[in-house]
Structure 1
Amino acid sequence: MARLRSDFWVSAYLRRCSVEGIEAVLRKRGAAEAGAIFVKLDRLDGTASLYGPAPQLFLDDSGERLFAPILQDVMPLDVEERMTRELRFDPDLWLVEVDDRQGRHFLDLASAE
């Protein structure tokens, strides 16, 4: 099954967060069709996490986008520094920032099981 375009997925994700009452903003627009999507989760308590595309090993035929934690419970500046490096490597990526004290992100995470 074909995977959703990045622009469509990000639009739907932002809408989902809005419906749930969670502030989410598009910080960096990437390649419309297949840009990698990263999500920064700021818990508004001085900690943040970063999620990015799951390694190919975890992908299946469902076409669902799966994510994996890259950084967990770090200072927001650490996430910013990591994204600066990611952008140098892949300028076509997308970056969405979610602010939620409860740490909700609604991402489908890859499982090692």
Structure 2
Amino acid sequence: MRLRADIYVSALVRRVFSAGDFAAVEKKGAEEAGAIFIRQRFRDGLETLYAPAPQSFFDEESSGDRLFEVRLERAEPDRVREMLERERKFDPDLWIVELEADEISELIPMAG
């Protein structure tokens, strides 16, 4: 069984803060099962956008886990904002979490 989105986001934010970095919830979505998008901001002004991985990456063993994929890597903030606006039109119940951390590979599980 998959963790509720609000619990997952809360745990992620706490883990980021405990690592000495910054996190904020930019947009709250559906508490139970909203899709979670993660904006990683870098000191040079660029951003990486992580999105939920497609269902094809899941197998029976990982069906309860959340997996992410890189949607935009080290892109201009305007490109990330535009992509998130398109996603919001498609799914208004999504979550957007903003992180200011140099390394998040240990914080979020990535799809193979």
Q: Which TM class, normalised by the smaller chain length? A: over 0.9
- Measured in 2, the distance between the counterparts of 1:16 and 1:46 equals 23
Following superposition, the deviation at residue 103 of structure 1 comes to 3.7
User: What is the TM-score of this pair, normalised by structure 1?
Assistant: 0.91
Counterpart AA for 2:70: P
- Measured in 2, the distance between the counterparts of 1:12 and 1:84 equals 25
Structure 2: gaps (5+ residues): none
Q: How does 1:19-98 map to 2 (within 5 A)?
A: 19-60=18-59, 61-62=61-62, 63-98=64-99
- Measured in 2, the distance between the counterparts of 1:70 and 1:103 equals 17
Counterpart AA for 1:70: R
User: 1:104 matched to which residue of 2?
Assistant: 104
User: What is the TM-score of this pair, normalised by structure 2?
Assistant: 0.92
Matched-pair contact (CA < 8 Å) for 1:43–1:103: no
Counterpart AA for 1:36: A
Following superposition, the deviation at residue 44 of structure 1 comes to 2.1
Counterpart AA for 2:87: E
Structure 1: gaps (5+ residues): none
Percent sequence identity is 46
Matched-pair contact (CA < 8 Å) for 1:41–1:103: no
